[in-house]
Amino acid sequence: MNLSDQIEEYIRAIIAEERSIELRRNELANYFHCVPSQINYVIATRFIPELGFYVESRRGGGGYIKISRVGLEKSEYLPTIIDKIGRKMSQSVANVYLKELVEYNVLDYKIAQLIKIAISDHSLNQVESQKRDMVRADIFKNLMINLLGSDNYEMR
């Protein structure tokens, strides 16, 4: 397990018990023997509103990061995910979304694994590398619309 995964797992374990936590970036960085920017990276990429988190940050001597779990209804995931993805999506970002969707029972594990395979770099190897993230984003959005959405939702 890489360091980012360890930091994420640690924070999630606390949130699972308390639904909201306050962290001091430097203390957490010391605990994991890393730089504070590593903590920032994990929070910025894995504790995002689209996945049901609210993050509040205050800098300075008494600075902290507060992470709260907010309950999204299943119907709320689709618009937030579609809007956040934009025109491009890397394989690693797609994997984070899929992991979260499984964890919060929006998708079942088997479906998520099939999606992961379908949008992997290996599956898209015939697509030019500079266009791959755009194709992946379109496929991911269309799959989400069909799996989670209604007939009324259209891609923008």
pLDDT at residue 133, as a whole number? 95
Neighbours of 77 (CB within 10 A): 22
Kind of pairing between the strands at 20-23 and 53-58:
unpaired
Q: Which amino acid is at 3?
A: L
pLDDT at residue 93, as a whole number? 86
Q: Could you give the CA distance from residue 51 to residue 14 in angstroms, rounded to a whole number?
A: 17
Query: Does the reported pTM lie above 0.95?
Result: no
Per-residue pLDDT of the chain (156 residues; tens, 9 = 90+): 789 989 999 998 888 777 788 888 889 999 999 998 898 889 888 888 767 788 888 776 656 889 988 766 666 666 777 777 788 999 988 988 898 788 777 889 999 999 999 999 999 999 999 999 999 999 999 998 888 765 444 444
Phi, psi of 92 (to 5 degrees): -65, -40
Q: Could you give the CA distance from residue 100 to residue 108 in angstroms, rounded to a whole number?
A: 11
Q: Which amino acid is at 4?
A: S
Pair of tokens at residue 112 = 């998520």
